[in-house]
């Protein structure tokens, strides 16, 4: 299954217009993304808020991830303080996949951001979390936190933004986006043979591993006749016909 390194801002010194700061709200956004990621079968690791951007890049590069997604908000500063609005998704001009993901993210965010013409994908050769990560990387600036209208939109729509971002990841990976629900524990109930855990909800999909009969699994979501299942360290899809929920 897809693996994402989720990197919310660690910049607690970037104060918002009324209260709070960039680190606080971006970590709150990441918290709200987690149920959507799990239910859609996307594995994730989060950066440490105790580390700076260099530490986040080092941790991301220390393992394999399909995507490095950095979550930030912007500020006009100087003569532009409080005057700018908009969402920017920064991608590497040397990576088509980075460009593709940034475009998907901005297209989906246009459905919930009030100024559609202020949502854009932009190339960057200077932002380290885009240029120095091994994974396909995008850094999203989710509005201007020194603008009261952008701040109000962001802080009032964290769940919708989280949903949109995970929808974008699912679109990029070509997997179903599944709304989160109750997380169940289940038991594999076959005729004694193993149950295939697959990378996609299809009998033709790659088999990740085989789950033994009577093994316990965690069920995060359902898509048609398939459960999104976690078994040990593996997440994938298994047939609902062979899992009994507790």
Mean pLDDT score of the chain: 96
Average pLDDT in the 12-33 region?
96
pLDDT at 77: 84
pLDDT at 183: 96
pLDDT at 78: 87
pLDDT at 64: 97
Residue 224: pLDDT band (50, 70, 90) is very high
Secondary structure string (H, E, C) spanning the chain: CCEEEEEECCCCCCECCCCCEHHHHHHHHHHHHHHHHHHCCCEEEECCCCCCHHHHHHHHHCCCCCEEEEEEEECCCHHHCCCCCCEEEEECCCCHHHHHHHHHHHHHHCCCCCCHHHEEEEECCCCHHHHCCCCEEEEEEEEECCCHHHHHHHHHCHHHHHHHHHHHHHHHHCCCCCCCCCCEEEEECCCCCCEEEECCCCCCCCEEEEECCCCEEEEEEEECCEEEEEECCEEEEEEHHHEEEC
Average pLDDT in the 88-92 region?
98
Average pLDDT in the 223-241 region?
96
Which domains occur in the chain, in start order?
A: 3-173 (3.40.630.40), 184-245 (2.30.30.40)
pLDDT, tens only, 94-125: 999 999 999 999 999 999 999 989 999 999 99
């Amino acid at each position: 299954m897809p693996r994402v390194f989720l990197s919310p801002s660690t910049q607690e010194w970037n104060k918002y217009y009324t209260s709070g700061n960039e680190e606080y709200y971006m970590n709150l956004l990441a918290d709200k993304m987690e149920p959507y990621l799990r239910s859609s079968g996307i594995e994730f690791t989060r950066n440490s808020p105790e580390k700076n951007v260099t530490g986040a890049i080092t941790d991301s590069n220390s393992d394999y991830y399909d995507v490095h997604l950095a979550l930030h908000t912007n500020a006009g500063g100087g003569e532009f303080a409080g005057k700018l609005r908009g969402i920017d998704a920064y991608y590497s001009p040397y990576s088509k996949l980075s460009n593709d993901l940034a475009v998907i993210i901005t297209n989906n965010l246009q459905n919930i951001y009030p100024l559609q013409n202020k949502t854009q994908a932009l190339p960057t050769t200077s932002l380290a979390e885009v240029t120095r990560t091994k994974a396909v990387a995008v850094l999203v600036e989710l509005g201007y936190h020194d603008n009261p209208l952008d701040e109000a939109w962001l802080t009032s729509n964290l769940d919708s933004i989280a949903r949109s971002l995970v929808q974008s990841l699912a679109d990029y990976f070509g997997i179903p986006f599944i709304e989160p629900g109750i997380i169940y524990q289940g038991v594999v109930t076959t005729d004694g043979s193993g149950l295939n855990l697959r990378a996609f909800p299809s009998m033709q999909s790659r088999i990740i591993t085989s789950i033994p009969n009577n093994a316990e699994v965690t069920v995060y979501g359902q898509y048609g006749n398939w459960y999104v299942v976690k078994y040990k360290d593996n997440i994938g899809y298994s047939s609902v016909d062979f899992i009994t929920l507790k």
